[in-house]
Amino acid sequence: MLMQRELPETVAHLDAPIGAEATISVIMPVFNAAHFLLRTLPPLVKMLRRGEILEVIVVDDGATDGSAAVAAELGARVISSGGRLGPAGARNVAAAQAVGDILWFVDSDVVARDGSPARIRAALNETDVVAVFGSYDDRPDAPNFGSQYKNLLHHHHHQIGKRDASTFWAGCGAVLRTTYQKIGGFDAKRYRFPSIEDIELGYRMGDAGGKIRLDPALLSTHLKYWSVPELVRVDILRRAMPWARLMLNRSEVTDDLNVGMIERLRAGLAGLALMLVLATLGGLVPLWTPLAAFAMVLAANWKLFSTFREVRGAPFAVSALLFHQLYYLYSTVAFVWCWLEVRIGRTVRA
């Protein structure tokens, strides 16, 4: 298994361009995902048989639903993580055995598209680019509100994000194997559950001088079902709080994707809108004030609202935009909580 170690001074300029013939090893960590594998593995196995990728490695991370047998029957190479390690540790186990020039990470609930290997090779053949990741498409599989909202939000941010990214996404993202080895792989000790292990890996790649490319045309379909309570729980405990702690410990707040400066301003606007609604209920301001607040929120989030409306229609777009203001509020509370943790901790240590 890859272990964390000192960063090299740089990972750029150390390797020759990979070229159009670079080999690709697909790595898919699996825990009780047999029902997903029936849809996510066949496209990858077809790529394997066409010679577009070198191998498809499925890491059985302690599954109890027969995932390993399903993966083997579908044509993947199956290895064991040796215990329940979480996706970070499982990916490290596979990376240590992979032989491709490129490690392409694909989640067990993600359906990759034809043409993806060519896009990955093209991106990683650019000077100093050591990693590339893509985006969910705008057709998430599960039809319920939580799944549609969560996946369309992800799609929106990855479609408009900076092409020179500051983080990484392992749902459908690839890294040069030499770079991955030099920076020590995923931090499996810190992230034993699905969390921001890919974001943290991206920071280390950037710190070591490597460029990370966001390719919005590297599309995939997400099959995961998100209930509203579950997405709120994951957003707070597995995303917002760990990411806030990581940024605060680095003394650097990322200006990209859903934590960029504009997003922070929108979060502030969500807080203002809530205060105006409460003031209206308390009889402190006129009754038209909430309408004005919603108009401001709509104007500030017009592109996101348009994405919601184009895919699911106006009623969904309105409800999703209102729920998105709740997302801003609980994400802000999570960040402030973590800021206080760090602040108090520094005060105590001083």
pLDDT digits (tens, 9 = 90+) for 208-224: 999 999 999 999 999 99
Q: What is the pLDDT of residue 34?
A: 97
Is the pTM higher than 0.95? The answer reads no
What per-residue confidence (pLDDT) applies to 2? 44
- Provide the pLDDT for residue 253: 72
Cα(111)–Cα(50) distance, rounded to whole angstroms? 17
Which two tokens mark 106? 């694909």
pLDDT in the model for residue 256: 66
Burial classification of residue 76, based on how many CB atoms lie within 10 Å of its CB (0-12 exposed, 13-18 middle, 19 or more buried)? buried
Residues of the chain with pLDDT under 70: 1-19, 255-259, 346-350
- 232-193-57-53 Cα dihedral, nearest 10 degrees: 50
> What pLDDT is recorded for position 11?
60
| Pairwise CA distance, residues 1 & 188, whole Å | 10
Query: What whole-number distance in Å separates Cα of residue 116 and Cα of residue 102?
Result: 13
Q: Residue 135 corresponds to which tokens in the numbers above? A: 């985006």
Half-sphere exposure (CA, 13 Å, Cβ side) for 266? 24
Could you tell me which of 121, 131, 119 has the C-alpha nearest to residue 211?
131
